[in-house]
Amino acid sequence: MDLPALSTGFSSDFIWNTASFFIMAVVGLSLNFIIASAYDTTVVGVFNQVYALYFLFSQFAAGGIHLSVLKNVSQFSGDDGTVAIILSSGITLSAIVAVAVCGLVFLTRGLFSALLGSPDVGLGILYSIPGLLLFSINKTILAYFNGMQHLRAYAVFQAVRFLAILLTLVLFVLFQVEGSATPAIFSVAEFVLFGLLLAYLFLVLHVELGSAPYHWYKKHLVFGIKAVLGNILLDVNTQVNVLVLGIFSSDLTVGIFSFAARFAEGFSQFPVVVRTIINPKITKAWYEESSNALEKLMDQYKKLTYKILIPFGILMIGGYPALGLLIHNGQIAESWGAFAIMMSGLLFSAGYLPFVMVFNQTGYPGHQTIYLLYFFLTNLVLNVLLVWLAGMYGAAIATGLTFVIQLFFFRKMVWFLLKVRV
């Protein structure tokens, strides 16, 4: 099998998606700074708690349907008719599931507000609900781009989502919108992205959607049911430390920790760049070649990821306090220890993070959920215990340890199920 990481196609896709990643990372970090400057650290804490819940709700709204679209589009990418049916049924089903979830979130928003002891959290959830519906549909369309390896378009639209979030927040600040309303930036951004995705899909790619046979709806639904919990846990994993800390600590403490958490989360998204590129290749290698081809592919990407991320991560750890001095924000210095701890665990397992969706891509969504459930429960249990004992630093230690522990389970599971050594 050729070494795709050295090919021109890979290099181009990698550059585009890396650029998109940096835009998303910069925007993600900028949100906290802008909110802290325009409002205060308490609003930062409320915003990040709503942000974490929005992540959770959005994965329920997506229902795992996009994962079925990604896997099946990757597998049938040479058959335009089948691919169109896969996309059409996926969009329709995504919309139906999202409407139901949005209704439940609306009815239960007060429970989350009470749990976190913050009335503004409930109000923030309300403002973000319209974004949940469109997020689900947008995620399915983006999964189609990913599966078809339209990776430049995928990168551009991912960046557009975050740029729209940033621009909306800037407008909110300029027009002096209340701090409790800042989560509405997610709804505005998804609306903008939805319009652009449809324009590209129909006017540029000339995709024709039509009625799909019943069995494709059933196939998406069954796959989604098996995969949805795992996908929810994958995204929620990055928010567990903030949510648990929010239960045991004040909004101010969460706000301080959020600086470190968002920087670490931004770094953890870099392997997602590689994952975006490798997911369709995993499916092709598994279905069209052999387990040996898959093993070779994974080994190559593992080495490449470590080679890039270790020096970059060390540079981030060393430069983190200087950032606080540069922007005159002492709360960054307060969270440096937590950041260094989380980054240590991330760097240890970074080379394996691009493969976390390998079970979905090889047709084992149920096993994907088992792996990610283990990942999540490890993270949750460690955070509850260590946050209770050590507060903000306990959350950091729990997060770092989780990345280390899950790595060994992942390697054993890949060998047991796929007979691939990584």
- DSSP of 125-164, one letter per residue? HHHHHHHHHHHHHHHHHHHHHHHTT-HHHHHHHHHHHHHH
Q: For the segment 379-404, what is each residue's pLDDT rounded down to a tens digit?
A: 899 999 988 888 888 988 999 999 99
Distances (CA, A) of 256 to 43, 66, 253, 279, 337: 11, 34, 5, 35, 12
Say whether 212 sits in a helix, a strand or coil: coil
Could you identify the residue written with the tokens 């260094």?
340
Instruction: List CB contacts of 56: < 8 A, sequence separation 6 or more.
Output: 232, 235, 236, 239
Q: Using one digit for the tens of pLDDT, what is the confidence trace for 207-243? A: 888 778 889 999 999 999 988 888 777 777 777 888 7
For a pLDDT cut of 90, what percent of the chain falls above it?
42
Residue 7 clears pLDDT 70, i.e. is over it: no
The pair phi, psi for residue 420, each rounded to 5°, is: -120, 130
Could you give the C-alpha distances from 46 to 182, 316, 321, 383, in angstroms and in order? Answer: 10, 26, 24, 19
Measured CA to CA, the distance from residue 126 to residue 113 in angstroms comes to: 11
Q: Which residues contact 202 (CB under 8 A, 6 or more apart)?
A: none
Q: What are phi and psi of 364, to 5 degrees?
A: -125, 65
pLDDT digits (tens, 9 = 90+) for 107-145: 988 888 888 777 788 888 999 999 998 999 999 999 999
Distance from the Cα of residue 192 to its chain's centroid: 19
pLDDT tens digit sequence for 199-208: 999 998 888 8
| Residue whose pair of structure tokens reads 């994952």 in the numeric block | 275
The per-residue pLDDT for range 278-299, each reduced to its tens digit, is 999 999 889 888 888 899 999 9
The whole-model pTM stands at: 0.79
Angstrom distances, CA of residue 413 to CA of 266, 376, 382, 409: 27, 16, 22, 6
Residue bearing the bigger pLDDT, 253 or 56: 56
313-334: average pLDDT: 72
Residue with tokens 């991560």: 313
pLDDT interval class at 265 (50, 70, 90): confident
What's the helix, strand, coil split of the chain in %, to 5? 90, 0, 10
Query: Over the chain, what is the mean pLDDT?
Result: 86
Look at residue 2 in the predicted model and tell me its pLDDT. Answer: 43
The helix (H) or strand (E) run that includes residue 237 is: none
Flag whether pLDDT at 353 surpasses 80.
Answer: yes
DSSP code of residue 204? I
Mean of the pLDDT values across residues 66-95?
91
The pLDDT > 70 percentage for the chain reads: 95
Packing angle between helix 41-62 and helix 251-268, nearest 10 degrees? 50
Is a pLDDT exceeding 90 seen at residue 322? no
